Amino acid sequence: MPHLNLKPSHKAIRDYYATLRQYDKHSVTHEGAVSSPFETLLTVCAKQVDATLIPQFAMRAPSGNRIVLDGVILDEYGLPFAYWEAKDMDDNLARAVQEKRESGYPLDNTLFQNPQHGILYQNGEQVFDVDITDPTRLIAVLQHFFAAPPAALANWHAAVAEFKEKVPTLGRKAAELIAEQHKTNPQFVTVFTGFYEQCRAAINPNLSKAAVEEMLIQHLLTERIFRTVFNNPDFTRRNIIAREIEKVIEVLIGQTYSRDAFLKGLNPFYLAIEQAALLCKDFSQKQQFLNTVYEQFFQGFSVEVADTHGIVYTPQPIVDFMVKSVAHILETEFGRSLSDTGVHIIDPFVGTGNFIVRLMQDIRATTLEEKYRHELHCNEILLLPYYIASLNIEQEYFQRTGTYLPFEGIALADTFELFEDQQIALFTQENTERVERQKAADMFVVIGNPPYNMGQANENDNNKNRRYEAMDKRIAETYVQDSKATLKNKLYDPYVKAIRWASERIGEEGVVAFITNNSFLDGLAFDGMRKHLAEDFDAIYILDLGGNARKGLKVSDANIFGIRVGVSINLFVKNRRRKLSEKPNIFYYRTDELWNKNQKF
């Protein structure tokens, strides 16, 4: 961790004391005010070490009770390494520390502070108890506070860089093993052929054997992570897709290598992940960490897959806003709630499960089991996010109820493929049954982050987005037919298909909440799409977050995803009470062009 560059003469220190003097002049002593200058100072310090201060950070104590810290400092991967708790001038700080200890507050690296006094705990022991009205002593405390990230954090940072180099090598080694087994192992050929046909049926009839071999490699390289981060040793037995893949893996590796010997080169990375996961004090932090591991894996191993499917992790403030917006619309437009029986909800592109997990947090405990068993649905086409989503959703249910219950609302399936007329077997009997239940459900809410990919560099790219006969036909009959534009190819982008699919999936009544590419708002090719949206929905709410690099950005980090296309949150509402003669209510708001992504959050 870099050393803090702080001196008593520096602006951040001078501003801190100057603000406190102003408060003292007006006899302001309450915590809400006197903690603010210290929060600003911590923010400045955090930036120096490529970290972020998150104020009012909620988490679960070891006992399960909810606690809210005044601040947590996260490293660039979202791992916590320092905690801050503020008190006002009149508080007895030592007594407050004891109360927080009894409530389960972390004491790994925690600074308790009021304007006069600072107490620093590290590894459960008090290491500083000083008067911080003296700038030199204040700086000494801050230096220790920021210089003490745990060894697990340093190991994780080193492992990320090494992982990106080692994983492609090990992936190639696994691919060579598969090629060899195709030539020499009839049992493997039989098992692989059966699995390959299942994949073609469930995901894409044009799926290449190389893509299925990559799925096997992904499973082989990451299965240990899924077992250990959530302490779920039965993962490959409980997960219906992992079970099938394990059968192929066992034949692939069983006669040639021991799995441990084959993966020995990744042991340092596995250990770094497992140790870093211990820094996460509650389940929600582990979820965020697992998402980080997922992103790092794809950067190191499968750039093409990431590009094809638009792997973009949805930031938590966006997820929170969308879930709360849907809840508000349900209440105001329909007199219903997320907890109500009959409100079926689907995330058709679930990714790592963040939307479903967040929805579960707002469902009443008395109705959660019923919703979890029967009315929450999601699909994922990629193996790794499917695994992570399953774990995240099941763990959230376990956290809420204290009971493990497999989540049967998730399917490994292509949402657009399910729109096609033919019915096929989807991997396993259980996966097929899940899809059948989903298709029979009367969906009322569709929510999520559809694929944002806008095609490929050229027609020869292997990561070309595929075509869907039935879905493309509906686009042609609606958005394309009513467009006056000459070039209409963009109307077949995945996010456009997602909006068309969702519009039909909710039928005559319901809510669609998507965060998407915002090109459809004013692009010439999308005139027919805008016409149909206005006809199909009774109310449309658009929060335009901007960020289109092609139109020029006034701040460098304006895009909330760090991508080049602009983004908007879109809420579409169908309500049977609207008369056909009524025009839709369309509400539009665009964020300030000078806002960066954190201001938008």
Mean pLDDT of all residues in 484-495: 91
How far is residue 600's CA from residue 569's CA, in Å, rounded to a whole number?
A: 12
Could you tell me which of 543, 544, 516, 528 has the C-alpha nearest to residue 446? Answer: 516
Q: Which amino acid is at 216?
A: L
- State the burial class of residue 412 (Cβ atoms within 10 Å of its Cβ: 0-12, 13-18, 19+): buried
For domain 11-149, give the CATH number: 3.90.1570
Q: Which of 65-69, 203-207, 540-544, 554-558 has the highest mean pLDDT?
A: 540-544
For the entire predicted model, the pTM comes to 0.77
How far is residue 363's CA from residue 321's CA, in Å, rounded to a whole number?
A: 16
Is the pLDDT at 213 greater than 90, yes or no? no
Structural contact between residues 388 and 353, judged by C-beta atoms closer than 8 angstroms: yes
Q: What is the DSSP letter of 58?
A: E
Is the pLDDT at 198 greater than 70, yes or no? yes
What digits encode the pLDDT tens for the residues 442-460? Answer: 999 999 999 865 443 233 3
In the numeric block, the tokens 């209510």 are attached to 585
What digits encode the pLDDT tens for the residues 170-185? Answer: 788 888 888 988 898 8
What digits encode the pLDDT tens for the residues 552-580? Answer: 777 878 888 888 889 999 999 999 876 65
Is the pLDDT at 30 greater than 80, yes or no? yes
How far is residue 341's CA from residue 458's CA, in Å, rounded to a whole number?
A: 48
CATH class of 308-600: alpha beta
Q: Which amino acid is at 257?
A: Y
3-class state of residue 585 by DSSP:
strand
Work out the mean pLDDT of the chain and round it to a whole number: 85
What digits encode the pLDDT tens for the residues 1-27? Answer: 567 899 999 999 999 999 999 998 998
| Fold match flag (11-149 vs 308-600) | no
Structural contact between residues 164 and 300, judged by C-beta atoms closer than 8 angstroms: yes
Mean pLDDT of all residues in 508-512: 96
Mean pLDDT of all residues in 339-346: 97
Percent of the chain's residues with pLDDT above 90: 44
- The pLDDT, as a whole number, for residue 465 is 57
Lowest-pLDDT range of 341-350, 428-437, 453-462, 470-479: 453-462
Could you tell me which of 91, 140, 61 has the C-alpha nearest to residue 127? Answer: 140
- State the burial class of residue 39 (Cβ atoms within 10 Å of its Cβ: 0-12, 13-18, 19+): middle
Query: Can you give the residue ranges of every domain in the chain?
Result: 11-149, 152-301, 308-600
The residues facing 448 across adjacent strands are 514
